[in-house]
Amino acid sequence: MKLSIIVPVYKVEKTLERCVKSILSQSFTDYELLLIDDGSPDRSGAMAEKIGMTDGRIRVMHKQNGGLSDARNYGLDRCKGSYITFVDSDDELAPGTLDAVMSKALANPDYDIIEYPVKERPGRPDEHVFNPGDMTYATALDWLSRFGLEHCWAWNKVYKRTMFGDVRFPKGKIYEDVYTLALLLKKNPLIATIGQGMYLYHWNGEGIVAQSTKNSMDKLLEAQMYLVRTLGINTAEKRWHRTYMNMFNTQLYAYRNTRSTMLWNQKVSIKKYNSPNDCVKAVMLNVLKLKLSCRLFNLFSRI
Q: Tens of pLDDT along 38-56?
A: 999 999 999 999 999 999 9
- Count how many Cα atoms sit within 13 Å of the Cα of residue 131 in the half-sphere of its side chain: 8
Q: How much is the pLDDT for 42?
A: 96
CB-based burial label for 129 (10 Å; 0-12, 13-18, 19+): exposed
pTM, 2 dp = 0.94
Q: Tens of pLDDT along 185-216?
A: 999 999 999 999 999 999 866 554 554 555 68
- Domain spans of the chain? 3-202, 211-300
Q: Which residues of the chain have pLDDT under 50?
A: 208, 211, 303
CA nearest to 93, candidates 191, 202, 203, 169: 202
CA nearest to 249, candidates 182, 302, 300, 294: 294
Starting at the edge strand found earlier in the chain, the sheet holding 118-120 runs 92-93, 199-201, 118-120, 128-130
d(CA 18, CA 25): 11
Q: How much is the pLDDT for 213?
A: 55
Helices (H), the chain: 16-24, 44-52, 68-76, 97-107, 140-147, 176-185, 208-213, 217-230, 241-258, 278-300
Q: Percentage of the chain with pLDDT > 90?
A: 89
CATH of 3-202, one of 3.90.550.10, 3.30.930.10, 3.10.180.10, 3.30.565.10: 3.90.550.10
